[in-house]
Amino acid sequence: MGPRINALATETGQKLVKHMVGCDRALRGTELPAHLRDLVNIRASQLNGCGGCLDMHVKEAVAAGETAVRLSLVAAWRETTVFTEAERAALELTEYGTRLADSAGVPDEVWAAVAKHFDEEQLTALVGQIALINAFNRLNVIIRQPGGDYVAGQVPH
């Protein structure tokens, strides 16, 4: 199975991805912890069924030192003890932010839980990360970008 199109072979695709990567770089420059960005990217990609993004973000998380146990348990984070309260709040916000059509938005109690752990700059970065990974997921799922061939470090950080 290959992608339906090679978006990077088009002028529009190159511009689009360039700006999306620019957003990613802006978010990397914030105080939101890198490992938390990885967890958010992985959880949203799991929910959206994005093999290309899962491949990339799991491999990048491993290269950054994330443990196999935590990576294996991201999908079942509620039923585990390996994530901090702050990580759990961010993962819950990720789920609500990814499944917007399944609810009436993000419940106040979910927002309050995440706001206990992060300041406004970090919250803005977290919301931006959730929005951005969902955009990348949608692009890759629509064109059927497969996972499996990504090499950690392939996309410069």
Is 14-143 assigned to CATH 3.40.1210.10?
no
pLDDT truncated to tens, each residue of the chain (157 aa)?
788 999 889 999 999 999 999 999 999 999 999 999 999 999 999 999 999 999 999 999 999 999 999 999 999 999 999 999 999 999 999 999 999 989 889 999 999 999 999 999 999 999 999 999 999 999 999 999 999 888 888 876 5
pLDDT at 103: 86
Beta carbons within 8 Å of 97's beta carbon, 6+ residues apart: 44, 106, 127, 130, 131, 134
pLDDT at 150: 87
Rg of the chain (C-alpha set): 15
Give the pLDDT confidence score for residue 104 in this predicted structure.
84
Cβ(41)–Cβ(129) under 8 Å?
Answer: yes
What is the residue extent of each domain of the chain? 14-143
